């Protein structure tokens, strides 16, 4: 592989990291849920709710758990899955609520199958990064792809 795109990137031996985007996390629910009528929701309001989350070993799950714990909130996991598309489908049918990156739910919000509600207690952010093996020379296609993702002229790895 030339590159990988990961959430919550961290420094790793023999790997280079190019940070490229920060996604705002929002609460998502089906349009009939009580939260759908709100303009903002506090993390504390999630206490006791049925929740659809990522599997425990996924960095986004760990980050969401930190936010919940910091606000002393416990949710009831109705499902834990490995990707955002499945989370969105489960939330759409009313099984529970979730926290998701705002860009990932734009199509469903636009077609009104999901509602995205911002948090009133601050912005919660998910950092994305591009990783590649140290010393790797990019192919022209990989270089162009990195430029497209980062909107920069050259790809500039950091240590």
Model pTM greater than 0.85? no
Residue 26 gets the label, from left (phi > 0), alpha (psi -120 to 50) or beta, of beta
pLDDT tens, residue order, the chain (159 aa): 778 888 877 777 888 888 888 999 999 999 999 999 999 999 999 999 999 999 999 989 999 999 999 999 999 999 999 999 999 999 999 999 999 999 999 999 999 999 999 999 988 998 888 888 887 788 888 888 888 888 854 444 444
Residue 52 β-bridge partners: 79
Strand partners, 117: 27
Identify the pLDDT of residue 152.
Answer: 52
Task: Give the model's pLDDT for residue 158.
Answer: 46
Alpha helices in 2-159, H assignment, sequence order: 59-70, 84-92, 102-110, 140-150
Q: Which pLDDT value is given to residue 127?
A: 87
Residue 104: the pLDDT is 95
Token representation of residue 5: 């795109």
pLDDT of residue 19: 84
């Amino acid at each position: 592989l030339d590159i990988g795109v990961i959430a919550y990137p961290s420094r790793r031996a023999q790997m280079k990291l190019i940070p490229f985007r920060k996604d705002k996390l929002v609460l998502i629910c089906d349009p009939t849920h009580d939260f759908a009528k709100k303009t903002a929701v506090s993390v504390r309001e999630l206490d006791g709710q049925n929740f659809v989350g990522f599997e425990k070993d996924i960095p986004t799950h760990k980050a969401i758990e930190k936010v919940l714990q910091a606000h002393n909130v416990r949710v009831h996991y109705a499902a834990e899955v490995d990707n955002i598309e499945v989370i969105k489908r489960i939330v759409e049918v009313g099984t529970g609520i979730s926290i998701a990156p705002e860009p990932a739910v734009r199509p469903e919000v636009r077609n009104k199958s999901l509602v995205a509600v911002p948090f009133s207690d601050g912005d919660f952010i998910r950092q994305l990064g591009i990783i590649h093996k140290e010393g790797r020379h990019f192919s022209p296609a990989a270089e162009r792809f990195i430029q497209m993702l980062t909107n920069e002229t050259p790809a500039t790895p950091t240590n």
